[in-house]
Structure 1
Amino acid sequence: MSKSLKVLVACEFSGVVRRAFASRGHDAWSCDLLPSEDRSNKHIVGDVRDHLHDGWDLLIVCHPPCTRLCRSGRRWLSGPGYMTPPKKLPTGRTWDSMKAEFAEGVDLFVTCWRAPIDRVAIENPEMHDIAKRHMPADLPKPHIVQPFWFGHPEYKATGWYLRGLPRLVETNRLPEPERGSDEWKRWNRVWRMSRSANRGHERSRFFPSMAEAMADQWPGDPDSVTIPVSEPIQTQLFAHEAAA
């Protein structure tokens, strides 16, 4: 086995990824605002940004808040011009709260990407154009994988932004079911979930088979990692700040 690494798995309460790395002899910890479901003593309850300077070899950010950064969230940030209120906001939300949520998502992503850690993997969908304008210049396009590439019968395109890590190689691609069949509907479980208080919680559960592939493929040789240099991101998040 390759050298044991000190691994931080952020935005994970289930412990799935942490356990996959721990089972291979790595010193793996998880971190989330929620307590760990498995009550592990290797789980940090708190903001991952407070723990990025603790000597980690590998940072994996599994489910950071992406609602305002992903393409599906752009309509809520797109009135006339750039970053202006849309004609209609989600029920119960204000424009100020939407801006704050967007800024928080940007800060979390960029802070983790710039962490002083050799290997970084951040899970996030393809970003919309507004979000991209606030990302580091060295951010690559996301590496998109599917759970069924790793033996899990489900559709959920998962984007990985990788620094110092290779792209995941599929390990057990399953044949896809016929579109519209009952099996196909089961594979689309994530997208067919009814709205509820626990919907986001359940959708953020990680796939064990993909976690196993990550634990097998991402450790490697820490001395061979090349760290790209990040450029400063734009600090002006909103159009009105230009005139302030």
Structure 2
Amino acid sequence: MISPLARPLRVLVGCETSGRVRRAFLDRGHDAWSCDLLRADDGSNRHIVGDVRDLLGDGWDLLAVMHPPCTRLCNSGVRWLDDPVQKNPPDEATPAEKLAWAGLSLDERRIIMHRLLDEGAALFSACWNAPIQRVAVENPIMHKHAKARIVNYEQPAQTVQPWWFGEAAFKGTSFYLRGLPPLTATNRLIPPKSGTEEHKAWSAIHRASPGPDRWKIRSATFQGIAEAMAEQWGGHAMREVAA
């Protein structure tokens, strides 16, 4: 908890609906807010519905952007840029584009895919270059086309796993950090052997069935990681603010 003599940090948690990171900072006495285009799952009045970019200049001590739309930026999605499938339109397409998708030419679908890449890179760039001293952005490893579009791009500072923080799960999570240290493992578990039932259980996120909530299952921040963020990044920022 914060010393009575210290002021709380002003923390903005962007692109989060679960509220886990926001609550972790709030539990430590900080003035924490979350923001997303969707409403918060917990109905908190400390959640702002809107574009995180509209809030970046409001005097925050720390910005943590948890789940920016990354499908068009990450390595796993690069193949769809020039060979977009005709059957399923991208989730980020407009309603009109989704309706017309099956009848579009290959070149027309490519134009849409590259526009979505530009939009994703613009959001990442705005957050990464925000006028905030301490910034953490979660994102998978990017392909070369995304890197070329990011202003002041740097390699991710680290990639962590939930099982480093006491969570029985696999999900590699990369953090791009500015003004913040890499997270240190707090409760490192021993991963099960591949092919076992336990290993399958730990891989539940990667094995999630297709459906309308799959994106939410795959993007939710694990509690152990959220606690480490609030404790370690919050503590680091507090020491700098107090110095």
* TM superposition shift of 1:102: 0.6
Alignment CA distance shift 1:57-1:89 (3 Å):
farther
Alignment CA distance shift 1:90-1:158 (3 Å):
farther
Match of 1:197 among 212, 226, 230: 212
CA distance in 2, matches of 1:61, 1:113: 9
CA distance in 2, matches of 1:99, 1:158: 25
Match of 1:167 among 177, 182, 198: 182
Letter in 2 for 1:182: E
* TM superposition shift of 1:200: 0.6
- RMSD over aligned CA atoms reads 1.7
Match of 2:80 among 76, 79, 86: 76
Q: TM-score, normalised by structure 2?
A: 0.85
* TM superposition shift of 1:204: 1.4
Alignment CA distance shift 1:19-1:88 (3 Å):
closer
CA distance in 2, matches of 1:194, 1:172: 29
| CA deviations over 1:7-54 (Å, ceiling 9, x no partner) | 000111110000000000100000011111111110000110111111
Give the match for residue 32 of structure 2.
28
CA distance in 2, matches of 1:111, 1:69: 15
Alignment CA distance shift 1:76-1:43 (3 Å):
same
| CA deviations over 1:153-201 (Å, ceiling 9, x no partner) | 0000000000000000000000111111111001000110111111112
Q: Secondary structure at the match of 2:205?
A: helix
Give the match for residue 92 of structure 2.
none
Whether the aligned pair in 2 keeps the contact of 1:122 and 1:162 (CA below 8 Å) is yes
Whether the aligned pair in 2 keeps the contact of 1:6 and 1:56 (CA below 8 Å) is yes
More helix by share: 2
CA distance in 2, matches of 1:46, 1:144: 28
Give the match for residue 231 of structure 2.
216
In the alignment, structure 1 residue 16 sits paired with structure 2 residue 20: yes
Give the match for residue 194 of structure 2.
179
Percentage of matched positions with identical amino acids: 52
Alignment CA distance shift 1:51-1:30 (3 Å):
same
* TM superposition shift of 1:141: 2.9
In the alignment, structure 1 residue 140 sits paired with structure 2 residue 137: no
* TM superposition shift of 1:222: 5.7
Q: Secondary structure at the match of 2:210?
A: coil
Alignment CA distance shift 1:179-1:30 (3 Å):
same
**How many residues end up aligned between the 2 structures?**
218
| CA deviations over 1:54-82 (Å, ceiling 9, x no partner) | 111100000011101000011112xxxxx
Match of 2:57 among 53, 56, 59: 53
Give the match for residue 110 of structure 2.
95
| CA deviations over 1:176-234 (Å, ceiling 9, x no partner) | 11111111001000110111111112211110111000001002246849xxxxxxxxx
Q: TM-score, normalised by structure 1?
A: 0.85
Segments of structure 2 that go 5 or more residues without pairing to the other structure are 90-100, 102-108
CA distance in 1, matches of 2:164, 2:7: 27
Give the match for residue 228 of structure 1.
none
Alignment CA distance shift 1:58-1:90 (3 Å):
farther
Letter in 1 for 2:177: L
